[in-house]
Chain A
Amino acid sequence: MSGFWSLLRLDLALLRRRRLPRWIAGGALGSVVLSIAFSSAGDGEGARLVASALRFLVAVIIGLTTVLGAVSISGDAASGALRGVMLRPVGRPAVVLAHATATSLFVMAIYVTGLIIALVAGSTLCGYGDVLYEEYVVIGADEMAGFMFRLVLLPLPALLIPPLLALCISTRMDDGATAVVLALVATVGPLLFGFVSGDVPEWVFTERAMHPATVLGKLAQGYQLDADRVDSVEYIAACVWQPALWLISFAGLGILLFHRREIHT
């Protein structure tokens, strides 16, 4: 773990300076703005607007941050920067963990920013009212606010997995393009399959990220099928410990793969 903090500072600085992270952040936040612009939510239907924006945001983050993770170490290797890093007194696990931490912080920053934009837009453009069926109140505004508070935060742990999975692949690849393709297959594949068939098990990380946003959308339309379940401690806990297991697994695998890799310094 030697040199972790210096590497983290370096990675964060690179994230700020490089063009790819900027494009990724711009693309993700742009998708939020687009989904708000094309939303059909009416007066009092702010929760619907937030839910549709979140679904876009989650899908885009999964796709784009996968690319970021896939080019991290493989990109450094291709540019020769990795050799320079390895000449410094740093441990190999620190290299992987620094990349993983920097990317995770980046994902969190994008998600929270997109969420704030969606919440503010929902409040100003629509407002948060009761969910109605004709004149009958299906879900009260207060209860809906409680659902929204929980459900908008629950995708976050699972959103950290795609870049880490991609990072794991990049630890063995010198070719960035190959790493990107392989990582996209592993992350966007289940996402697309879930979009098309709606048949992905919930413990798969893409579905774990999409499900809270999907349920929020359903609740905002008055469908209360999952209301009791997402209200339970078990669901909230599963949204945390399952992604945590994925994260630990990929981090460990990444460190292991990078440890065995030959780097000519």
Chain B
Amino acid sequence: MSGHGIRERLLVLLVAALGTSAIRGQTLELIALETDLKLPYQDLTEADMDGDGRKDLFFALADPPRWEIRLRLPGNAGFGPPRVIPVPAGVAAIALARVVPPAGYDIVTLAADGLAVIPGGAGGNGKPRPWCRVDLLFPPGHRGVPHHWTWGDDIDGDGRQDVFVPGLEGDLLVRGGADGKPAGPPERMPGPPTRVVRRRTGRGLVEVRRMRPRSELARLYSGASVPAWLGRDGLYAVPRTPTGFAAPMNLFPLKARAQAGLGILRRTDVDLTDLNGDKVCDLVLTRTEAKGGTFPDRRTDLLFFKNTGQPARAPAQVLLLPGVLSSGPDVGDVNGDGIADLFLSVFAGDVKSEALRRMFGFRVTLDYHLYLGTGGARAPFPRSPTLSLSDKVDNRTFETWSLRHRRVLSHDWNGDGILDLVDFKADAKTCTVTVTYGKTEAGRYELGDATTEFTWTGKVTGYGVVSMGEGAAAARLKTATGVVYVTAKR
């Protein structure tokens, strides 16, 4: 290597280091990266298709059915021209997975008779090539332009991404191989038992419906995804063994609660996430239900079960919240202390507030609560929120799911390891994104006075915060025909 080459590389490293430190802990300059397709799209997924470490855009469009990939250009130049891929006949859905070397996500098409792969980078010709012959079954309502079904993930622990697909009799694992081909035939994974529902029809005939509940991939251990499902008596997972997979295990036995009164309004969600930093995922169980009376109160129960490798029969902590859970529970390290914190939002949702909203147009109050993790051996979170924020949204904003949550605390924008709050304020003509930088004072998380604001002119149909690459948070503003990413200038 010549001395000139070494100097050049050192210079590049120096510039990169200076660029990073200039962003870390500082307020930012925000810019908008805009992509307009000039016509409505069905679905949008951000994924690093070309393997450059920054996310590109993957659109699904109808009439004619096609996908469009727009690669991220270097610097602040936005996104490149579209690479159009016509949807092959018979495709029902797609999975984005890294199955064909080199790096970068590929498009795995899922059809009733098998899987095919379209390399995602710029090198491919857009033609699918058969990848795995297997019979698949999709839910009856699954139709339209084939869009994102699942992500590739390392399920068998060999360091390569696999694809988890809905087989005819059960969910199937298609292992990714080193040469870009599947490593062996698909393997049927243990799953929830088939349920048969019988119902007598008006003419005395019996309608028999066979239902096959599906399993989902859950990160049971940090970095290891395994199939899991919520049964009536608990959360089942399929543990990985050195040679394959063990029999399903009821990891978190839960009491089957009797249906009574207005119990039909009950909803249960489960999340597996590491609450105490032991690299083993614990269970966060969320129940939202109406509780008794002529005018029932809505209540959200959060139950936290520690994963000890043995069935956990009692929760480590219970948090009861008045109202209906609206967003979250999002578990992540908010204050940068390495301990999982909890962020969620609730609204009243009871008869009184619904009547006021519908009859008199009262604004709806969304309460956002942040619980900083205790790291304690017993309860993972304090009993009361460390920080509570409130937002009042008008009826239209409340009823539009993609516009309802105007406060997002999910990403670190300035690289100081502390999450920053993003506020969205949209009207018919503009959308303003405000980043308020978080800080810690004596171990407590606070929102600082410093903010950065950016106003984009145009009508948005939805917003949220996404990651566009390592340490690159962006506010995503969806429009009817495109998308705008408001992100830090690099």
A contacts, CB < 8 Å to B? 133-136, 138, 196-199, 218, 221-229
Q: Quick one: which of B301, B348, B356, B383 has the most chain A CB within 10 A?
A: B383
- Assess the B365–A224 pair: CB atoms within 8 A: no
Given contacts A224-B384, A228-B382, A228-B383, are A196 and B318 in contact (CB under 8 A)?
A: no
Closest 4 A/B residue pairs (Cβ):
A228-B384, A224-B383, A222-B320, A133-B318
- Nearest residue, chain A, Cβ from B257: A134
Give me 26 A-to-B residue pairs in the complex whose CB atoms sit less than 8 angstroms apart, sorted by A's number. A133-B301, A133-B318, A135-B314, A136-B314, A136-B315, A138-B318, A138-B320, A196-B352, A196-B356, A197-B362, A198-B348, A198-B352, A198-B353, A218-B322, A221-B320, A222-B318, A222-B320, A223-B322, A224-B320, A224-B384, A225-B369, A225-B384, A225-B385, A227-B383, A228-B384, A229-B384
A158 to nearest B CB, angstroms?
A: 22
- Nearest residue, chain B, Cβ from A230: B384
Which residues of chain A are near B301, meaning CB under 8 Å? 133
- Assess the A199–B384 pair: CB atoms within 8 A: no
How many Å lie between the Cα of A163 and that of B301 in the bound state?
Answer: 41
- Nearest residue, chain A, Cβ from B386: A228
* B134 interface residue per 8 A CB criterion: no
Number of interface residues of B (CB under 8 A): 21
How many Å lie between the Cα of A228 and that of B318 in the bound state?
Answer: 16
The B214-230 residues at the A interface (CB cut-off 8 A) are none
Which residues of chain A are near B315, meaning CB under 8 Å? 136
* B33 interface residue per 8 A CB criterion: no
- Assess the A225–B322 pair: CB atoms within 8 A: yes
How many Å lie between the Cα of A133 and that of B318 in the bound state?
Answer: 8
Q: 10 other contacts beyond A133-B320, A197-B356, with CB at 8 A cut-off?
A: A196-B356, A197-B362, A222-B318, A223-B320, A223-B322, A224-B319, A225-B321, A225-B369, A225-B385, A229-B384
Contact with A along B334-354 (1 / 0, CB 8 A): 000000000000001000110
- Number of cross-chain contacts by CB at 8 Å: 42
How many Å lie between the Cα of A106 and that of B385 in the bound state?
Answer: 39
Which residues of chain B are near A226, meaning CB under 8 Å? 384
How many Å lie between the Cα of A220 and that of B232 in the bound state?
Answer: 30
Q: Quick one: which of B255, B318, B353, B356 has the most chain A CB within 10 A?
A: B318
How many Å lie between the Cα of A229 and that of B255 in the bound state?
Answer: 33
- Nearest residue, chain A, Cβ from B301: A133
Which residues of chain B are near A229, meaning CB under 8 Å? 384
Which residues of chain B are near A223, meaning CB under 8 Å? 320-322
- Nearest residue, chain B, Cβ from A195: B352
- Nearest residue, chain B, Cβ from A224: B383
Given contacts A136-B318, A196-B352, A218-B322, are A227 and B384 in contact (CB under 8 A)?
A: yes
A201 to nearest B CB, angstroms?
A: 12
How many Å lie between the Cα of A218 and that of B385 in the bound state?
Answer: 15
B81 to nearest A CB, angstroms?
A: 51
Which residues of chain A are near B388, meaning CB under 8 Å? 225
How many Å lie between the Cα of A227 and that of B314 in the bound state?
Answer: 23
How many Å lie between the Cα of A228 and that of B388 in the bound state?
Answer: 12
How many Å lie between the Cα of A135 and that of B382 in the bound state?
Answer: 20
B221 to nearest A CB, angstroms?
A: 27
Which residues of chain B are near A138, meaning CB under 8 Å? 318, 320
Which residues of chain B are near A199, meaning CB under 8 Å? 365
- Nearest residue, chain A, Cβ from B297: A221
Which residues of chain B are near A221, meaning CB under 8 Å? 320
B145 to nearest A CB, angstroms?
A: 44
